[in-house]
Amino acid sequence: MDWKLLASTFAAIFVAELGDKTQLATLSLASEASSRWTIFAGAALALVCTSALGVLGGDVVSRFVSPVWIRRIAGVVFIVMGLHYLLKKA
């Protein structure tokens, strides 16, 4: 196992998920539920499933598109989304 890759993936995803809408939705669900462990299990399972889709999708896309171009395209998409949200009128 590549421990450096594991640690960098964990760190990137952990930081990216802090304070996002998924965490806020989980917080909201947990505040109303009688079983916090059920909310934790459901949220963890959902994150595992979406991560699996991301890994499978990345595997398929990388067969046709260079990883360098995938990073560039992702960077452009994030910049465009950021500009959209900054310039969007309320």
The full set of domain ranges for the chain reads 3-65
The dihedral of CA 74, 77, 82, 83: what is its sign?
Answer: positive
Give the model confidence (pLDDT) of 5-36 as tens digits. Answer: 999 999 988 888 888 888 889 999 999 989 99
| CB contact at 8 A, 68 and 75 | no
Give me the mean pLDDT over the 64-76 stretch. Answer: 93
**Where do runs of H (alpha helix) occur along 1-90?**
3-17, 21-32, 36-62, 67-87
Q: Is the pLDDT of residue 64 over 90?
A: yes
Q: CA triplet 45, 64, 79: central angle to 5 degrees? A: 65
Give me the mean pLDDT over the 65-74 stretch. Answer: 92
Give pLDDT, residue 21: 86
Q: Is the pLDDT of residue 90 over 80?
A: no
Give the model confidence (pLDDT) of 43-57 as tens digits. Answer: 999 999 999 999 999
| CB contact at 8 A, 47 and 22 | yes
Instruction: Supply the mean pLDDT for the chain.
Output: 91
